[in-house]
Amino acid sequence: MEFNLKVGMSYKVELEVELKDTAVSLGSGSVEVLATPRMIALMENAAMKVVAADLPEGYSTVGTHLDAKHMAATPIGMKAYAEAELVKVEGKKLTFNIAAYDEKDKIGEGTHTRYIIAVDKFMEKTNQKLDA
């Protein structure tokens, strides 16, 4: 199947940091600041949404690799956002540059790889694990 995806496509997602987004709540640290796993999820969400609207019905993407660093803390009540840009398309393999910011600083950056999947086939194969 051919996919109409172009290098340079991008997407931005935003959130206001709440207690549920903090390192304390997610169990990844002991301070009430935006948790690294939550920042990573925001970055992955931006990457997923870069291509989501351009995939045919029944197709999606799954993350397979992420290399990112968390560079600055973000307090509760501050907005944070992530941007993803599609930088390479190799068949079903998609590579993104990802970055995250709050209202003051760049808080994270890295790269992310996703693969295009047929959802039904993917879930059928995954659910076979339950039969073992």
Catalytic residues: 36, 44, 70
Specify the DSSP class assigned to residue 68: E
Handedness of CA 117, 120, 121, 125 (dihedral sign): positive
Residue whose structure tokens are 């993407």: 61
Q: Which residues of 29-59 are buried (b: 16+ CB within 10 A; e: fewer)?
A: eeebbbbbebbbbbbbbbbbbbbeeebeeeb
